[in-house]
Structure 1
Amino acid sequence: MPHRCSTSNELLAGLAAVALTIVAVTPANAGTATGAATEWTQVLNNGELVALVGKSGEQIQNQLTQISQLAQQIETQLNIYQNLLQNTATLPSHMWGQVESDLNQLRSIVDQGQSIAFSMGNADDVLQQRFQSYATFKANLPSNGTFSSIYQTWSDTNRDTIASTLNAASLTADQFDNEETTMSSLRSMSETADGQMKALQVGHQIAAQQVAQMQKLRGLVSQQMTMMGTWLQTEQTDKDLAQARREKFFGATAPSTSGGEKMKVQW
């Protein structure tokens, strides 16, 4: 078996502080940050909020890299199992147990990708609510959209692709929606060689899809962090310029009052 790289089910560091707290105070199916999120952000000043979101970009990219690598490992391993199954009636129970573990990990990978997209979209919503200058940067995105809407599109596309793959094998998304139903479905499929092959083929296809989807998600995160960096630089430049103007105004030498005619009282 290839070495499994460890991935966290929680988002890391700053983004967790910003985005996952927002999730906790909004409905589970909320697509954008609501008034509750706006109220929560008042506990942070502008610099703290920006720092929490901004510093998490590299950590999120690293997590997406780990997820993508794990999906590739699962894809490779499932292909090996398919080849083995072609030469035997069914896979031995101990080997099928590893298949179940791999496919359950694959389900977890899908969930992690969805969580990252949801959280990054929420972070985008909060920043737009707090900073008007940040909101104007959306003009640089396709169709004057927002990263929140782009992440939602990615999420919908990913789920639809997985659903289509499952449907093609006469399976439903519900059967792979959570760990309990996934394991129940896999136990039923393990009873026949056809069922095992179907599970392996579906898993292999979904793993390949997730490798591609995580690459797209990494691209979105990178684009978002680049835009945020540009915005922060612009904001700082404006502040520095305003400060320089203030210092110049208040530090200027007062005009001389000597050399003019003396005022005389005339009767």
Structure 2
Amino acid sequence: MASHRILSAALILSISCAQGHAGGGLTGGATEWTQILNNGELVHLVGQSSQQINNQITQISQLAEQIQNQLHIYQNMLQNTAQQPAHVWGEVQGDLNQLRSIVNQGQGIAFSMGNVDDVLKSRFQSYADFKTNLPSGSSFSSSYQTWSATNRDTISGTLKAANLTADQFGSEEATMSQLRSMSEGADGQMKALQVGHDIAAQEVAQMQKLRGLVSQQMTMMATWYQSEQSEKDLSQARREEFFKSAAPSISGGQEMRPRW
């Protein structure tokens, strides 16, 4: 039962963060999570969670591509009409709001995996030493921060080119408000469709980069754990060999007898 609770906590930390991350609120949860794990449990569960995260990245990529294709269809439809019908624009709003959501999910994954890197580094000296000895230092925490910043900047650039701001698409309420405003004319609708299409295409590319980062991180962690485990196995074998050694013989020595 305890191991089941640990696994659940690990999965909640690593996966659900993508749905609830809002700029760092999970740090405390990560600390509580690692406090109940030993080295082997921690690495094992992070490995399990990474597979779940890879699956989620794949789902995000596929969804972003689907939204991109759907928005392209809407663009073609709008070219032949003065304005999208209300029911069609309602579908557009749903797709664009979903796009905003999956962008946040990608940011959440990057935050979570960067946090895992920081936690392991602070928790296990051997992990920090292993990373330091690598040619590049392999600072995945900073790599994820760079990815997040690049992703945000790319989206901001796309919005800015359309005379929009990130704040206008920063939350569900702001997104829906802006889309309602843009729905009043064909020009506004076309602008929203083009922005959404471009952002969806960018997210497909960014998710590929994020998947690469996660794979590199997990490969490095597996190599570290294998080297640490090999060293522990060798130490254990030496201890066992030492205690198996026969005690030195004391036969042939002078017999000690009490003298009265």
* TM-score w.r.t. length of structure 1: 0.84
2 CA distance for matches of 1:20 and 1:95?
A: 31
1:43 Cα deviation after fit = 3.0
Mapped pair 1:162 → 2:155: yes
Aligned pair partner of 2:140 in 103, 123, 147: 147
1:95 and 2:91 are equivalent in the alignment: no
1:121 Cα offset (Å): 0.7
Distance 1:62 1:30, change over 3 A: closer
Q: CA deviation at 1:85?
A: 0.8
Question: How far does residue 253 in structure 1 lie from its aligned partner after superposition?
Answer: 1.3
Equivalent residues in 2 for 1:66-81, closer than 5 Å: 66-81=59-74
Does 1:183 find its partner at 2:179?
Answer: no
Deviation at 1:263, TM superposition (A): 8.8
Q: Verify the 8 A CA contact 1:72 1:211 in the aligned structure 2.
A: yes
How many angstroms apart in 2 are the aligned matches of 1:49 and 1:190?
Answer: 50
CA contact (8 A) 2:13 2:26 kept: no
The residue aligned with 1:16 is 12
Following superposition, the deviation at residue 48 of structure 1 comes to 2.5
Aligned residue among 121, 132, 135 for 1:128: 121
1:82 to 75, 79, 82: 75
Query: In the TM superposition, what is the alpha-carbon distance from 1:234 to its structure 2 partner?
Result: 1.0
The alignment status of 1:227 with 2:223, answered yes or no, reads no
Per the alignment, residue 4 of structure 2 pairs with none
Query: What CA deviation, in whole Å up to 9, does each residue of 1:12-56 have, x standing for no partner?
Result: 8724346979xx9xxx6459968x965763333223322222211
Residue equivalent to 1:3: none
> Among the aligned pairs, what percent are the same residue?
71
Instruction: Tell me by how many angstroms 1:257 deviates.
Output: 3.4
- Does residue 59 of structure 1 match 2:52? yes
- Does the C-alpha gap of structure 1 residues 32 and 97 become closer, same or farther in structure 2, counting only changes over 3 Å? closer
The count of residues paired between Structure 1 and Structure 2 equals 248
Q: What SS class does the counterpart of residue 191 from structure 1 fall into?
A: coil
Task: Pick the structure with more helix per residue.
Answer: 2
Q: Work out the CA distance in 2 between the residues paired with 1:142 and 1:95.
A: 54
Kindly provide the amino acid, as one letter, of the partner of residue 179 in structure 1: E
1:198 aligns with 2:194: no
Letter in 2 for 1:210: E
Q: 1:112-138 deviations in whole A, cap 9, x for unaligned?
A: 000000011111111111111111232
Once the two structures are superposed, residues 231-263 of structure 1 have per-residue CA deviations (whole angstroms, 9 ceiling, x without a partner) of 111111111111100000000112333467x59
RMSD of the TM alignment (CA)?
2.8
How far residue 143 of structure 1 moved from its aligned partner, in angstroms, is 4.3
SS of the aligned residue for 2:143 comes to helix
When residues 80 and 39 of structure 1 are mapped into structure 2, their CA distance, relative to the original with a 3 A threshold, is closer
The one-letter code of the counterpart of 1:193 is A
Inter-partner Cα distance in structure 1 for 2:101 and 2:135? 31
Task: Tell me, in whole angstroms, the C-alpha distance in 2 between the residues paired with 1:31 and 1:122.
Answer: 11
CA distance in 2, matches of 1:29, 1:102: 24
- Give the stretch that moved more between structures: 47-56 or 90-99: 47-56
Which sections of structure 1, spanning at least 5 residues, go unmatched? 1-11
Q: Which amino acid aligns with 1:74?
A: I
SS of the residue 2:250 aligns to: coil
Q: Is the 8 A contact 2:97 2:172 kept in 1?
A: yes
Match of 1:116 in 2: 109
Where does structure 2 lack aligned partners over 5 or more consecutive residues? 1-7
Question: Normalized against structure 2, the TM-score is what?
Answer: 0.86
Q: Given that residues 24 and 111 in structure 2 are in contact (C-alpha distance below 8 angstroms), is that contact kept between their aligned partners in structure 1?
A: no
Does the aligned pair in 2 maintain the 1:85–1:197 contact within 8 Å? yes
